[in-house]
A and B are shown apart, each in its own frame.
Chain A
Amino acid sequence: MEEKLTLFKNRKRFGIEKNIDIIFKNTALVLSSFVAIILLGIILVVFFQSFESFSRYGLKFLVTSEWNPVKDEYGAFTAIYGTLVTSFLSLLITIPLGVGTAIFITEDFVPKVVREIIGSFVELLAAIPSVVLGLWAIFVMEPFFRAFFVFLHNFFGWIPLFSTEPTGRNSLLAILILVVMLLPIVTAIARDSLNQVPKKLRNAAYGIGASRWKTIFSVILPAALSGIMAGVLLALGRAMGETMAVTMIIGNSNAFSWSLLSPGYTISSMLANQFGEADGSQVSSLFYAAFVLMILSLVVNIFAQWLVKKFSLKY
């Protein structure tokens, strides 16, 4: 008996197997920390590259709109304004459309098969590369909307937003193509959070005599609100960073204008346009603009994650 027990105690794994196990674990650990290294690397590299411009212009960079490589004067106000305006206005259009579509998909107005087809259709829209959307915007959307823009200018020209003569590419087209890009994101996330609302809440509301839309507005939407909000914020981050489609259709002009019917600029389209050919302190200024863009999208993203954690459903 005694002998057997010691035999049992001495049974160990082969040393080599144990070592492989440890090596495997540590390799996985190192690989997972790559994410943090890359993220910190991006922030540090972009920050240090923008240092020259940052120390020269400071925060004045954010509020002046002169961008003149010849005179070596840089200010990114037009691009920052364009980024914020295009993303917020496109979101303003997308939210009702996306949430409305999500409600349509989650309610039982039409048979389930039809709803599922519509749902996956909208999701497929998210898979289309933005450069293809840009191509489509240039050759199909712009001619299609031209008459409408002229109408807007003629009848609402007294509003500063529509005060310029529409000539081809402009900010409003960028907003519209952003709507097409954001719609799948908002719809998908809104649908998921509406689906997560427990059935008994709906049944309880119906039970006390609420109509369908009373139930949706007072019970289901409030319960799904945090998820929808997070989706909206993710979409906002996406809109601010979106590059190709916007670059191709916004017209790329650094002249500041309040009008949506004039060509504009966003930070990402400025980067896409100028980075390849820039040199000297222009590069540093472009890095500064990239840093601003990164901070904007980081803040939005982190806020979205916080929101999900803080207000996730507790049923």
Chain B
Amino acid sequence: MNSLYYQKRLSRNIGDKFFTSLSVICALIAILPLIFLVTYILYKGGSQITPELFTLEPNPPGDDLDAGGINPALIGTLIITTIASIIAIPVGVGGGIYLAEYSKGGAFSRFIRFGVNVLAGVPSIIAGVFIYALIVSTKILFGSMYSGLAGGMALSILMLPTVIKTTDEGLKLVPNELRYASLGVGASMYTTILKVTLPSAFRSIATGVVLGIARAAGETAPLIFTALFSYYYITGFGDLFYEMGSLAVLIYNFALEPYDAQNKLAWAASFILVLTILSVNIFSRILAAFTEKTKRV
């Protein structure tokens, strides 16, 4: 009769308790750094935010107490990620369309899908090394060496696998009935893709692409010897062909400076970067959860 009740001292129950608490400890250790990190960045960086931060140039490191602002880096990050998106999104969406809509699972598409996964695993600094060898050291872009354009190209290499993958997977989720219906009423393949399948997969593709852009905005390694860094305002189109600052490289450079003023600027830049990236992530998560609930097909 007694054996029907839960017995605390049984070795299996003690063991279970032990491992359960172990996994709770693991989870705690996993979350703690995030909580520390985010609160510290928000606290430390948030206290540096002033209106001048967004309008001034950073002062060159030195003993002067005023570090200036991060305007060029902020604009630079926007420009470089825009260039990367302009290159990676058309190529990636086009490639994803081919994989999802045209390929029939043959050797070519298997090779491309494999290549996408391999490219996604290439260390980000290798993308920088590649663009350095191809563009910076050859001065192929109208004789300019380090430039925002080269930095954007390096970033686009990192974005490309993400864009292809999300397009491929987003299109594969579109039910085949929609394609049959469209082809059945006489639409050609490209009309079907552009008017039927792409629009119905638009939200999932857009979410993936936006997350990819957010990730690229924080990448530093491909930029440190392609776009380099600049202290000066970006004034015109021609500046694309010169060194260009970015938030990520600013954080890297100024974190290693021995001066307090520069370090503070790095914290402020981190605040802006982390806040942007986290809000994009959280927003897309909410959007995805919302779509799942209201999905009709």
Q: Which residues of A come within 8 Å of B, CB atoms?
A: 13, 17-18, 20-21, 24-25, 27-36, 38-39, 41-42, 45-46, 49, 96-101, 103-105, 107, 109, 118, 120-122, 124-125, 127-136, 138-140, 180, 183, 187, 211-214, 216, 234, 237-238, 240-244, 248, 268, 271-272, 275-276, 283, 286-287, 290, 293-294, 297-298, 300-302, 304-305
Contacts and interface: CB of A to CB of B under 8 A. Distances in A.
Contact of A243 (B19, B26, B123, B256): B123
A129 B219 contact: yes
Nearest to B11: A211
Chain B residues touching A, range: 35 or more
A217 to B, nearest CB: 8
A117 B290 CA distance: 16
B217 to A, nearest CB: 8
Contact of B118 (A104, A128, A298): A298
B97 A243 contact: no
Interface in B8-35: 12-13, 15-16, 19-20, 22-27, 29-31, 33-34
A134 B221 CA distance: 12
A42 B274 CA distance: 30
B224 A272 contact: yes
Contact of A31 (B22, B94, B225): B94
A249 B267 CA distance: 16
Contact of B102 (A28, A39, A268): A28
Contacts of B240: none
Contacts of B211: 127
10 contacts: A32-B98, A35-B112, A42-B130, A49-B133, A103-B26, A128-B37, A129-B218, A131-B252, A132-B273, A244-B252
B190 A24 contact: yes
Contacts of A272: 125, 221, 224
B91 interface: yes
Ranked nearest first, the 10 interchain pairs of A and B with the lowest CB-CB distance are A241-B123, A129-B218, A100-B26, A31-B94, A32-B95, A28-B98, A301-B121, A24-B190, A243-B221, A32-B98
A268 B94 contact: no
A101 B121 contact: no
Contact of B30 (A20, A33, A122): A122
B95 A34 contact: yes
A121 B35 CA distance: 9
Contacts of A275: 128-129, 132, 224-225
A28 B97 contact: yes
B129 A21 contact: no
Nearest to A211: B12
B189 A24 contact: yes
A127 B215 contact: yes
B202 interface: no
Given A35-B164, A271-B125, A213 B133 contact: no
Interface string B68-104: 0000000000000000000000111011111101110
Contacts of B155: none
A176 to B, nearest CB: 9
Given A32-B164, A272-B125, A118 B37 contact: no
Given A211-B15, A290-B129, 20 more contacts: A32-B94, A32-B109, A35-B112, A41-B134, A99-B26, A101-B27, A121-B34, A124-B281, A128-B37, A129-B220, A129-B273, A211-B13, A214-B12, A243-B123, A268-B125, A272-B221, A275-B132, A276-B224, A298-B122, A305-B118
A36 B119 CA distance: 9
A17 B190 CA distance: 9
A21 B112 contact: no
Given A21-B190, A28-B95, A124 B255 contact: no
